[in-house]
Amino acid sequence: MNPSKKDFRLKFSAGAVLASLALFMLARAALFLLNGAYFSSLSRGEILSGFLNGLRFDYYMVALLTGPVLFFLNLPVKARAWVKTWVCVWAAEFIFMAGFLIADLIYFPKVNRHIAEEILQLSNDWGFIVSYIFTETWLPLAILLSLFGIFVWQLGRYVNRRYQARAWSWKKETVTGLLILLLIFLGIRGHLGSGKALGVADAYKYVSSPAGSALVLNGVFTSYQIGRKGAVEVSNKYPQDKALLYAKEQLVSADEAVLDEKFPLMRKRTSSVVSSPKYNVVVVLLEGWHPYYVDALSHNGFGATPVFDEIVKNGVNFSNAYATGQRSIFGFSAVFAGVPLVPGLPMFGYGLELTAFSPMPKHFADKGYYTFFAQTSKRDSYRLCTLASYLGAQESYGWEDIPERLEYQEKAPFGYDYDAFMFAADKIKNRKEPNFLAMLFTGITHEPFTSTLPQFDKHPYDSWEHGFLNTLSFADWSIGELINRAKKDGWFDDTVFVFVADHVSGGKKDPSLKNRFRIPLVFYAPKILKPAQIDYVVSQLDIVPTLYRLTGLNPAYTSFGRDLFEKDAPRAALVSEGMNIGLVTEQGAMRHSGGKILSVEKFSPDFDERETENKLLALDKAAYTLLKENRWYNPAYGEKK
């Protein structure tokens, strides 16, 4: 009896999508079962959330890879060869996804995360890969290829026996095609609202731990997200063991002990910690502030920062402080996570968060602090709200959440500092917890510059510098209003304010590392810290250890810096400029490609070029190794109170 023939393309398409999703779900179940110890810290609710929310990330890849194939399959082409071709292409994609997920299952236990930036290195290792496949994994490869051959053969037979072209109207064909395109679009977007398409960092909207994110994500998704950023080349050949030993000597204080040699920079104080008052903390990340425009720091007479000039005068001013990079996300990761920018690795928010970080806000929350993050920009700007949640902030807010409080002359593209500060002050005033950690990120000084209030338009908007100075004046006034609220609401005296720029903007036309990376950094707490100016080299990376000591917290943590007030500590600031790295010391500064010295700046006659190069390469290699191999921080120690 001959089977009835009909056009099965729509049913096949639905089945193909369901089969692909089932494949990803099966891989997730296998990942969970094969790595039970890693996922043991997850609650039943977190496990269920991982499986359910993981479907969004699975469907992203199904829509991206399978969607176009199914669209072409369903075009109004009646030829059997056309249908057979696209059915076989889907089969090839399905086998590819299966093979990749198997590879991810094999790789995951080695570093406790999915395949990510490793995909970028394949082009440099094709010889090794081909040799490995045909010598070490020839049997799985042969089985996979055999299954693929049988699969394609059976699909071809099915098309020959069952397919018959449909006779639809052009309207029905058009609606079908548009519907498929809509489903592809929604799958890749990952949501119905505005904002960026689904990214790796979005996994932390549903989970709060590396194990939870690993369950939500899949290796195909992470590899695509990292791979599409483009290939990178790492040329630092400094010996790994030597680099790790040097970094440990430079960054671990004498009263700290490393808890696990597999994580050589994860440490905890061993000396008895004197119980000190639990100070509140407000960290203000200043968008693009350059010391050049702050009169108290550069004495250039711009007159734009009278409030901040007083803060510098009455606070602890670190006059030789440096940013790690030249973008906001790099300042965010350095200030709030103690993580440097390392060429050759994805940036925070675009894959680096697959590595477990030391969660500074969580450490404060565990000790009873109310912790929150608020930025003037929209929530998905650099995914900072999501990343703050990843680090353990209990709440995170963006422009969408912050009410506009004044009648501004123009709409600012990145929000208003005053509004964010008043919003934060309200959150602090209405808190239930006795102490708080507030993490704030400003934005009015980000170009394009817009007019805020008439009294701050001291210059015409006829140049970059004039526009910046106008918005800087508003930003400075806004800081003063935050301080006034703190005094009025009664939390000024027991609060440590940290004012630090995320990176610099403008300044002199000087290509030196000092001009391109030196930033304002002031600890302001007149009732707690005596005014002082500290001139040795420090970095954004030193803030996390400093906050722990100031507040009396003693968690197991990892940071690529050390306490700012540790006077006799070895000092250097690691910076990154594109794919190049740099180091600033008290004696001089150096740019390096990882393979050779690019430039040298001598501040004193005793600058040792060879010693500086070794120090730079060692620190860069140590950071790269620990982040790449997921040896930065062990979350298991974070559970130990």
CB 559 within 8 A of CB 358: yes
Q: What is the dihedral of CA 123, 125, 131, 135, to 10 degrees?
A: -110
Contact 58, 21 (CB under 8 A): yes
Please count the CA atoms within 13 angstroms of the CA of 356 that sit on its side-chain side: 23
Task: Tell me 587's DSSP state.
Answer: S
Helical ranges in 518-561 per DSSP H: 543-551
Cα–Cα distance for residue pair 560/341, rounded to 1 Å: 10
Cis omega (within 30 of 0) on the bond before 403?
A: no
**What Å distances lie between residue 293 and 19, 363, 467, 481, 519, CA to CA?**
60, 35, 12, 20, 11
Q: Is 368 helix (H, G, I), strand (E, B) or coil?
A: coil
Paired sense of beta strands 521-524 and 495-501, if any: antiparallel
Q: How far apart are CA 442 and CA 286, in angstroms?
A: 5
Report whether 232 contacts 344 (CB < 8 A). Answer: yes
503 is in an annotated binding site: yes
Give the residue among 503, 544, 539 at the shortest CA–CA distance from 337.
544
Choose the catalytic residue: 209, 319, 328, 473. Answer: 328
- Residue 597 burial by CB count (10 A; 0-12/13-18/19+): exposed, middle or buried? middle
114 is in an annotated binding site: no
At 534, is the secondary structure helix, strand, or coil?
strand
Verify whether residue 328 is a known catalytic residue: yes
| Residue 459 annotated as lining a ligand binding site | no
Q: Is 502 annotated as a binding residue?
A: yes
Summarize the annotated binding site as residue ranges. 287, 446, 502-503
Summarize the annotated binding site for substrate as residue ranges. 446
Summarize the annotated binding site for Mn(2+) as residue ranges. 287, 502-503
Q: Which residues are catalytic?
A: 328
